[in-house]
Structure 1
Amino acid sequence: MNAVHVTVLVVYLVVMVGIGAWFSRRSQVAGSDDYMFAGRRLPRPVLVGTLLATWVGSGTIIGGANFAYTYGPFASIFFFAGTPVGILVLFLIAGKIREAAKRTVPELLEARFGTSTRMVAAAITLLAYVGIVAYQFTGGGYILSLITPLSTGQGTIITGLLIAFLAVGGGLLSVAWTDALSALVIVVTLVVALGYVFVQDVGGLGSYADQLAAPMLTLTGGLSPLQLLGYFLPLFLLILADQNMYQRLAAARDAGTARSSTAGFFFGSFLVTVPVTLLASASSFLLPGIEPDTAVLSLAAEGYTPALVGGLILAGAFAFIVTTGSSFLLSSAGNVVYDLYARFARTEPSDRRRLGVHRLSVLGIAVLAYVLGQFFPSVLALQVYAYTVYGVAIAPAVFAVLFWPRATTAGALSSMVLATVTTVGWETAGLSDQVNAVIVSLPVSVVALVVVSLLTGRTTQEPDRRGQTSGAG
């Protein structure tokens, strides 16, 4: 146990808890809109930071590091490419998302496809987001076990409690500001660590290439093109329809802030994914035989970086995981409140009651996430599963709302249900060891959406883009 690492982590946690407590005050969170959207007043630097920290959590620091450690830097290009490509698409539609200003993605779908679609989408979102929260818990447990005498299981419980505290307290305000701080710290320390490790421990790029295993020097890392596509698509599809991204863009001051913040998110993502790729792949020969999930974290924990830098990497990575978990926890609880509770309440719930239900939902989902996390062998496995469930079921329907007027309710429902059943069935049968489920479930989703929509046409009961009914055609 390194005293510097422990000190840095404790100081960092105190700061995060302090920010959470500050924004938990009644004057900062006066109602459900403040809790969910930070009063729709997030400034550009904070919005860039929260977009980056929300997306780059355990899935990058641990799941992405696992991939780079196992398959090398070139194959990692395909793994991480889904992020910048997806961000470019978000940039093009950021203004439209801000103007729509929906609380949840299922609410966006309901405006076009009706109540039944919203209910199914809410259930799918909860199924996927609970999984994403679960691997943040596990990722935080890994980090605490490296810094302290705690076991991974004990660290997972502590991480879950901290994540729940931030989400329950100040909502998006506390999450966004801790995100911005974490993004700044982790970007700076990863870049510094990369320079230090490559100069002091690796011996430069030439020595790096010489020490990598032969398969890692190939473009595919020993994977087939179909397997590479199976890793690219989940990230790409998730970011296209990620409810967290939509909610943060809706929390911007205006459409212009939303677009410019997305551009900052695009460039910032490279400052995290490139160092993670290079550090994790270097770890494959500096620290052979370690748990791949800890490829970057072990470099910091085992003294391959200066103690202060290593402590900041570990603390920053932990903070990224905590804020990402808080974001997905807050977002999925929003599905319970707005898509289920408020939608079917006999009378319109008061703002105070919605806020109370939101906070209780956060706690309930945290418990479910912890239980789910016990059934997956690694962060990477749970990550790919959760991304795939959400991406293949929700992204095609969302893009149909935005770009394809001929899509129908029957088509959207068929797409979502068949995509989810296919993904869960594929995972349950253990077939993802050969080919990730997205390779099968995405075509099923898109074909179902297109074919069923063309066969059914629009019905007299189906709302159009303006929320009105239209005739058959």
Structure 2
Amino acid sequence: MVLYAVVLGIIVVTLLGVSLARLGSVKTKADYLVAGRSLPAFVLVFTLLSSWIGSGSLLGGAENAYKHGFAALWQGGGGWAGLALIYFIAPRARKFAQFTIPDLLESRYNQTARLLGVVAVLFTYTAITSYQFIGGGDIIHLIFPQVTAVHGAYILAGFVIVFTAIAGMGSVAYMDVVIGLLATVTMIAALPVLIHVAGGWQNVKATLPATHFQVFGDLTPIQALELFLPTCLLMLGNQSMYQKFFSAKSEKDATHATVGWIIGTVILETVIVAIAVVGSAIFRTGEVAQRPREILAYSATHAFGGSPLLAVLGALLVGAIFAKVVSTANNYLFSPATNLVNDVFVRYIKPEASNGQVLLVSRLMVVALGCWALLQALRITSVLKMSLYAYTIYSAALTPVILAAFFWRRATAAGAVSSIAAGTAVTIGWDTVKVYLPKVVSDRDAILPALLASLLGLFVVSLLTKPPTEAQLRPFEG
């Protein structure tokens, strides 16, 4: 394990170096929150890719693939469908050029929508950050067995809080370039090697159930939809994504970056599921069968032996997974900290705050939210379940009103407030309420009832209230 430790150490030092290198360029609120609106398309591609593919894919998606095979791609496929629509949203988002999603909600709707948006983002993004800590803790435990997974989560949380607090969006984005390149090259190289270790593709197919290679596998169409919808809707309304678009040099850079992001996401998520499926053929029993979320890192540490070159590839694969987890945690920790600073502190507490005060409070918020996310991480039993819960809050509460802001002129402030409130309430309360409902309903995840409640609130209340003014609509026109 010395080699794995060395690779991990090099990655941590490299990421810290990138963060420190960006520190001198952070002088204003815009520098910290949106990298001074200076990110070119090349940097945007990798920071978008790295922020999207984290523990949700590397642990939750991999766990799904271990259990169900290629049907796990329904989860990733939701993101792909969302990306196809984002191509048309990206230039509009850059043209709007604010700092956060609640900025957008107040501009298009009202202050109440802004505040409800902050609440939904805080619940969603700290939950997503929390299972990144679990993922990093699992990897640290695999490399250093004497360190428990829980202690590993503490260590990972410390890394992430420090990296994120140092230089804000500029730090996060340029770290993502390093991480994105490492992960893309390593995972694509590792897949054919792992297939060879498994005895070839025919042997993989012979070892696993036939359902692992079918479109729905052993899932029902409704179960597939419950994987697809939360991912698709989170992608469409993802504040971290919009913040990256707000950070772009221009509308053209935002549009070009989206094309690269689509290509990279389809390739990487397919490769991740394929590695998990092949790994499940090699490791059908033992420790990983009890903790299938670890299948990628476990395969990297146990299947790549036999030669120094394979050992290096295995170490790089573990390092790439670890780095992706760090990257996603950085992004999803930074985003709600931005909300508290921009949408609460500057908006309501101290509007005249200097750049120095904003930077100080921003860093303190990163630390506070990082600690909250760590507390949530210590209660997680399933990364897949937690990821779908987090996706559902955001998907039902915010995505419909965000899309309506750009594409439905008739959406009103009252409709938006009703939609956000209904989507959040149903998601958070679903596990409590469903025990009183018929089994055909109570067996369902929260996404379908929460989305239905959100859409009803948006459309019915909007149609019953006064239309928005042209001044409210103008910044969102194409």
- Does 1:159 pair with 2:156? yes
The alpha carbon displacement at 1:215 in A equals 3.1
> Counterpart of 1:437?
446
Distance 1:429 1:447, change over 3 A: closer
- Does 1:455 pair with 2:464? yes
CA distance in 2, matches of 1:230, 1:18: 41
Secondary structure of residue in 1 paired with 2:231:
helix
Deviation readout 1:158-211 (Å, 9 max, x if unpaired)? 110111111100111111111111111111111111010112x22332222211
Mapping 1:205-354, distance limit 5 Å:
205-289=201-285, 290=288, 291-304=291-304, 306-345=310-349, 347-354=351-358
8 Å CA contact 1:90, 1:262 repeated in 2: yes
Distance 1:444 1:254, change over 3 A: same
8 Å CA contact 1:244, 1:328 repeated in 2: yes
Secondary structure of residue in 1 paired with 2:293:
helix
Mapping 1:128-143, distance limit 5 Å:
128-143=124-139
8 Å CA contact 1:140, 1:156 repeated in 2: yes
8 Å CA contact 1:20, 1:175 repeated in 2: yes
CA distance in 1, matches of 2:104, 2:260: 25
CA distance in 2, matches of 1:202, 1:160: 35
- Does 1:388 pair with 2:392? yes
- Does 1:368 pair with 2:365? no
Deviation readout 1:351-382 (Å, 9 max, x if unpaired)? 21111111111111001101112222121111
CA distance in 2, matches of 1:164, 1:310: 27
Please say which of residues 417-426 and 450-459 is displaced more in the overlay: 450-459
The alpha carbon displacement at 1:221 in A equals 2.1
CA distance in 1, matches of 2:460, 2:442: 30
CA distance in 1, matches of 2:118, 2:84: 26
Please say which of residues 341-350 and 377-386 is displaced more in the overlay: 341-350
| Counterpart residue identity of residue 315, structure 1 | G
CA distance in 2, matches of 1:216, 1:63: 17
8 Å CA contact 1:62, 1:294 repeated in 2: yes
8 Å CA contact 2:230, 2:392 repeated in 1: yes
Deviation readout 1:228-257 (Å, 9 max, x if unpaired)? 111111111111011111111111111111
Please say which of residues 145-154 and 341-350 is displaced more in the overlay: 341-350
8 Å CA contact 1:45, 1:261 repeated in 2: yes
8 Å CA contact 2:150, 2:378 repeated in 1: no
Q: Give the length in aligned residue pairs.
A: 461
> Counterpart of 1:94?
90
Secondary structure of residue in 1 paired with 2:325:
helix
Deviation readout 1:229-286 (Å, 9 max, x if unpaired)? 1111111111101111111111111111111111001111123111111111122221
The alpha carbon displacement at 1:316 in A equals 1.0
CA distance in 2, matches of 1:458, 1:429: 34
Deviation readout 1:16-56 (Å, 9 max, x if unpaired)? 1111122123xx11111111111111122211110100101
Of 461, 464, 473, the match for 1:465: 473
| Counterpart residue identity of residue 53, structure 2 | V
CA distance in 2, matches of 1:446, 1:248: 27
| Counterpart residue identity of residue 155, structure 1 | G
Secondary structure of residue in 2 paired with 1:221:
coil
8 Å CA contact 1:9, 1:315 repeated in 2: yes
8 Å CA contact 1:111, 1:463 repeated in 2: no
- Does 1:427 pair with 2:444? no
Secondary structure of residue in 2 paired with 1:168:
helix
8 Å CA contact 1:97, 1:249 repeated in 2: yes
Distance 1:232 1:353, change over 3 A: same
Unaligned runs of 5+ in 2: 436-440
> Counterpart of 1:470?
none
CA RMSD of aligned residues (A): 1.7
| Counterpart residue identity of residue 29, structure 2 | S
Instruction: Give the TM-score normalised by structure 2.
Output: 0.93
Please say which of residues 243-252 and 426-435 is displaced more in the overlay: 426-435
The alpha carbon displacement at 1:406 in A equals 1.0
8 Å CA contact 1:229, 1:439 repeated in 2: no
8 Å CA contact 1:36, 1:171 repeated in 2: yes
The alpha carbon displacement at 1:466 in A equals 4.3
8 Å CA contact 2:194, 2:279 repeated in 1: no
The alpha carbon displacement at 1:303 in A equals 3.0
- Does 1:122 pair with 2:118? yes
8 Å CA contact 1:142, 1:294 repeated in 2: yes
CA distance in 2, matches of 1:183, 1:296: 17
> Counterpart of 1:398?
402
8 Å CA contact 2:233, 2:399 repeated in 1: yes
CA distance in 1, matches of 2:430, 2:302: 38
Instruction: Give the TM-score normalised by structure 1.
Output: 0.94
8 Å CA contact 1:142, 1:155 repeated in 2: yes
Distance 1:459 1:202, change over 3 A: closer
| Counterpart residue identity of residue 126, structure 1 | L
8 Å CA contact 1:112, 1:463 repeated in 2: no
Please say which of residues 300-309 and 169-178 is displaced more in the overlay: 300-309
> Counterpart of 1:7?
6
| Counterpart residue identity of residue 372, structure 2 | L
Distance 1:428 1:141, change over 3 A: farther
Secondary structure of residue in 2 paired with 1:465:
helix
> Counterpart of 1:146?
142
> Counterpart of 1:377?
381
Secondary structure of residue in 2 paired with 1:70:
helix
Identical-pair percentage: 34
Secondary structure of residue in 1 paired with 2:472:
coil
8 Å CA contact 2:35, 2:169 repeated in 1: yes
CA distance in 2, matches of 1:452, 1:48: 38
